[in-house]
Amino acid sequence: MDKLIIQGGSRLNGEIKISGSKNSGLPILAATLLADGPMHICNLPHLNDITTMLALLRCMGVDVTIDEKMCVEIDPTTIRDFEAPYELVKTMRASILVLGPLLARFGKADVSFPGGCAIGSRPVDIHLRGLEAMGAEIEVDGGYIRARAPKGLKGARFLMDKVTVGGTENLLMAAVLAEGTTWLENAAREPEIVDLAECLVAMGAKIEGIGTDQLEIQGVKQLHGCTYSVMPDRIETGTYLAAAAATGGRVKLRATRADILEAVLLKLEEAGAKITVGEDWIELDMEGRRPRAVSLRTAPYPAFPTDMQAQFTAMNAVSEGASAVVETIFENRLIQTHELNRMGAHIVLEGNTAMIEGVEKLKGAPVMASDLRASASLVIAGMVAEGETTVDRIYHIDRGYECIEEKLQMLGANIRRVPG
Ligand code: EPZ
């Protein structure tokens, strides 16, 4: 297993380009199943999860061609199998996103039931209830969700009793080909859902209320192929900003967007960062200062994202003052704090709250990544620690950060990958 070895102490300084968004690339790849002709998807990040989604499409018989710039041509008309097998779903829960499109377009889907993962139990009950409301017959058998809609799906009014990103995406993709109108209420409003909806509209879908929590979808008979470029990754952007803030550095991030990161940028300003933004770039300058501790609470968009909580927890660990970080989305997403404490942080967990007393310096140590964003927080901690930090199990980080060590090296960090 590969490891990252970090010598702490460098202030990040420089410019890098942000990659395409993993969490919008994944549903958009699933949405290609809805088209009646070839789709061209560009600006996909080169990440293990994206490769797994492409492998899933291929194993269903879909024709997938990738060029050297990670632009992918997908021809869903060659599909012959309607199953997402356990072997792929167990490596990536987002495989569940093929359920809605398969059911809407082909009337059948067998998708291995995704289990929980390190950050929580992560049920998919809302996805299933929404599809049932549209007329699907669903049973769970042998660890598989077996869904059928032989006469097609029917539009319905469905209130999601919890804000769910994947649930909203699955139901939106199902509704675009359902007969009649579907109203999705209490829908998630994450920018990745807007990106997916805009891709569906480019394919010929009729969707009102994009970017709000009330989506109205007028089903159409068929959707055509199109070319679509995935939006920039807001969480990758936020991670490099938090890393620069923690090290007292200055970074300019290109090919990104500030408008989808408001809650994160506000917290960075509260921490003392000077932020300047342009149409497709963000610059952060700490002017060599130590950050001030910032308290925060995660919640669905547009509030502070759970996917940025671990990185801010690492920054708070070395900030001036005390802070409280409350995680409201996933029940087990503060586990990285134990590893941070092994590096000298002062963090006490009280239920879903981390009470953090900032220390001046952390100390390098061997640490273990437990999930994607937790690994990013350990890398940030390693960069602000005295001495050497080894981050083990970095396959987690490779799921969500394209070329992380190259990008950090370009910003002046002393970090290298050691193949294991
Ligand atoms: C998406 O996961 C993201 N993944 C996650 O990104 C992100 O943390 C999460 O949204 C929240 O923003 C992708 O986009 C591929 P949810 P998802 O359904 O869709 C509960 C990362 O690091 N729930 O919005 O699985 C659920 O347990 C990650 O890139 C139900 O109870 O998240 C959770 O508590 C990991 N029943 C809450 O809702 C359901 O049917 C939000 O989950 C569905 C969800």
What string of DSSP letters covers 352-381?
TEEEEE--S-EE--EEE--SHHHHHHHHHH
Cα 239 to ligand 1 centre (Å): 19
Dihedral angle at the C-alpha atoms of 196, 197, 199, 205, nearest 10 degrees? Answer: 140
CA distance 162 to 183: 16
Tell which one of 164, 234, 264 to mutate to probe ligand 1, the residue whose CB is within 8 A of the most ligand atoms: 164
Tell which one of 117, 122, 230 to mutate to probe ligand 1, the residue whose CB is within 8 A of the most ligand atoms: 122
Take atom 13 of ligand 1 and give the residue whose Cα is closest.
23
Helices in 61-176 by DSSP H: which ranges? 86-89, 99-106, 125-133, 165-175
Tell me, yes or no, if 403 is annotated catalytic. no
Contacts of 227 (CB under 8 A, 6+ apart): 39, 40, 41, 42
Cα 102 to ligand 1 centre (Å): 21
Cross-sheet strand order for the sheet of 144-148 = 83-84, 108-112, 144-148, 137-141
Asked whether 311 lines ligand 1 (CB < 6 A), one says: no
Contacts of 21 (CB under 8 A, 6+ apart): 45, 192, 195, 230, 231, 232, 233, 234, 235, 236
Grade residue 192 by pLDDT with cuts at 50, 70 and 90.
very high
Task: Return the closest-CA partner of residue 53 out of 108, 96, 106.
Answer: 96
Looking up tokens 């901690």, which residue turns up? 381
Grade residue 100 by pLDDT with cuts at 50, 70 and 90.
very high
Grade residue 218 by pLDDT with cuts at 50, 70 and 90.
very high
Helix, strand or coil, per DSSP, at residue 82: coil
For residue range 286-329, what is the model confidence (pLDDT) as tens digits?
A: 999 999 999 999 999 999 999 999 999 999 999 999 999 999 99
Give the rounded percent of residues in the chain with a pLDDT score beyond 90: 95
Does this model's pTM top 0.85? My answer is yes
pLDDT score recorded for residue 119: 86
Cα 166 to ligand 1 centre (Å): 6
Catalytic residue among 59, 117, 199, 226: 117
80 by Cβ neighbours in 10 Å (0-12 / 13-18 / 19+) ranks as exposed
Grade residue 69 by pLDDT with cuts at 50, 70 and 90.
confident
Take atom 41 of ligand 1 and give the residue whose Cα is closest.
164
- Helix H, strand E, coil C: the string for 155-183 is CCEEECCCCCHHHHHHHHHHHCCCECEEE
Grade residue 50 by pLDDT with cuts at 50, 70 and 90.
very high
Q: Which atom of ligand 1 is nearest to the CA of 97?
A: 15
Asked whether 94 lines ligand 1 (CB < 6 A), one says: yes
Take atom 6 of ligand 1 and give the residue whose Cα is closest.
307
